């Protein structure tokens, strides 16, 4: 029996057909980095993200052409789309009209209460949720003055915006309060979670490059999820957004929250390894990149210890001198020529996939 994390039960909202909060699975999001008005490029990227398992996509809406592009983009994609709006409430209204399934706004920079009300009223009419997205870098002056850039200030800012939306009888709300500093992010979400049952979108903002961003996100998002906090996640990386989705799923897989696609376990190699395991792992990983079958695959460096060390894997290979083995649940199935190891393993995965379908 695997250990399961107890998630905090939050109120549920729907972004198009995707449920967030309540008993819904933790949804994986990403954001496009194309110009939104460049419809072909944006659609192409979203299709790649869909193939990687992205469940909700956010696009920046800095101007009217971007807002208007949403209609055409929506017609060509298969996952709900969230419009990310700053400063101009008319962009939010235009994005809603164009079919956005969700809005991300920072009501603090949308302008007067009257403008926020106009957005809330229209979002309610369209049945579209709003994410109140607070960033440590853009806190209101009075809160910065009172608390400094602290978790307390971020939480106060978020709750203030939530209250404003509620005062307009708008309730389909999610919240995020991101900082690029992991410890601030952790404290802020903990505090926020203790004060609200609204669903939370969790992430570490501007997390950085592939290595540093992955580590920061794995710690920040991972610790919160471990504590039961978080209903949807976005990993931020200065990279192809497809990598964000992959890292997101790896975090969820590592915490046993969601399974998507194969889980590869591989040994670090040591002086007993006589094959080029790094290349074998790379080949298998890229061949299985977009598979959705949940299967544990072991790729081990030597026949002596490999199968034993990877007993929990559904299937695996272990290298040897010129010849390796294929094993299932730690038991040797057959010997395989070294040059055929990758091919044989991939064929076996296909067979298991057919059996399970």
Residues in contact with ligand SF4 by CB under 6 A are 267-270, 272-273, 300-302, 305-306, 309
Shortest Cβ distance from residue 280 to ligand SF4 (Å)? 12
CB of 313 to ligand SF4, least distance (A): 12
Which residue's CB comes closest to ligand SF4? 301
User: Cα separations (Å) of 234 from 24, 29, 143, 226, 261?
Assistant: 16, 5, 26, 16, 18
Nearest distance in Å: CB 136, ligand SF4: 42
CB of 230 to ligand SF4, least distance (A): 34
| Closest CB to ligand SF4 among residues 20, 277 | 277
Sign (positive or negative) of CA dihedral 214, 265, 294, 74 = positive
In the bound state with ligand SF4, the residue whose beta carbon lies nearer, of 64 and 265, is 265
* Closest separation in Å from C-beta 285 to ligand SF4: 17
Q: Which is nearer to ligand SF4, 99 or 306 (CB)?
A: 306
In angstroms, what is the minimal distance from the CB of 219 to ligand SF4?
A: 26
The values of phi and psi at residue 215, to 5°, are -65, -45
> Smallest distance from the beta carbon of 293 to ligand SF4, in angstroms?
24
| Nearer to ligand SF4 (CB atom), residue 108 or residue 306 | 306
For ligand SF4, give the closer residue by CB, 133 or 306: 306
Give whichever of 273 and 336 is closer to ligand SF4, judged by the CB atom.
273
Question: Nearest CA to 129 among 177, 75, 165?
Answer: 165
Nearer to ligand SF4, 250 or 309 (CB): 309
């Amino acid at each position: 029996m695997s250990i399961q994390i107890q998630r905090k039960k939050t109120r549920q909202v729907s972004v198009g057909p995707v449920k967030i909060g309540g008993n819904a699975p933790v949804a994986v999001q990403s954001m496009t980095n194309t110009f939104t008005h460049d419809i072909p490029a944006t659609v192409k990227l979203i299709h790649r993200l869909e193939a990687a398992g992205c469940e909700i996509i956010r696009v920046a809406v800095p101007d009217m052409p971007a807002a208007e592009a949403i209609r055409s983009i929506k017609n060509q994609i298969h996952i709900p789309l969230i419009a990310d709006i700053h400063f101009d409430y008319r962009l939010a209204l235009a994005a809603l009209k164009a079919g956005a399934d969700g809005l991300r706004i920072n009501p603090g920079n949308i302008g007067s209460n009257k403008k926020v009300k106009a957005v809330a009223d229209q979002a309610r009419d369209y049945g579209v949720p709003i994410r109140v997205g607070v960033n440590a870098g853009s806190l209101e002056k009075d809160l910065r003055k009172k608390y400094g850039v602290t978790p307390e200030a971020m939480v106060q800012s978020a709750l203030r915006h939530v209250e404003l939306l509620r005062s307009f009888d708008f309730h389909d709300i999610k919240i995020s309060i991101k900082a690029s500093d992991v410890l601030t992010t952790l404290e802020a979400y903990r505090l926020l979670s203790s004060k609200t049952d609204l669903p939370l979108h969790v992430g570490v903002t501007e997390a950085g490059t592939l290595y540093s961003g992955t580590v920061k996100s794995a710690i920040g998002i991972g610790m919160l999820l471990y504590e039961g906090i978080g209903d949807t996640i976005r990993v931020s990386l200065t990279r192809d957004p497809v990598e964000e989705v992959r890292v997101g799923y790896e975090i969820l897989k590592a915490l046993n929250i969601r399974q998507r696609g194969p889980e590869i376990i591989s040994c670090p190699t040591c002086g007993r390894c006589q094959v080029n395991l790094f290349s074998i792992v790379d080949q298998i990983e890229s061949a299985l990149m977009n598979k959705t079958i949940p299967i544990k695959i072991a790729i081990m460096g030597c026949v002596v210890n490999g199968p034993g060390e990877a007993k929990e894997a559904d299937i695996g290979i272990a290298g040897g001198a010129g010849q390796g083995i294929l094993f299932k649940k730690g038991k040797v199935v057959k010997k395989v020529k070294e040059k055929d190891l990758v091919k044989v393993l991939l064929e076996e995965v296909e067979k298991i996939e057919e059996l399970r379908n």
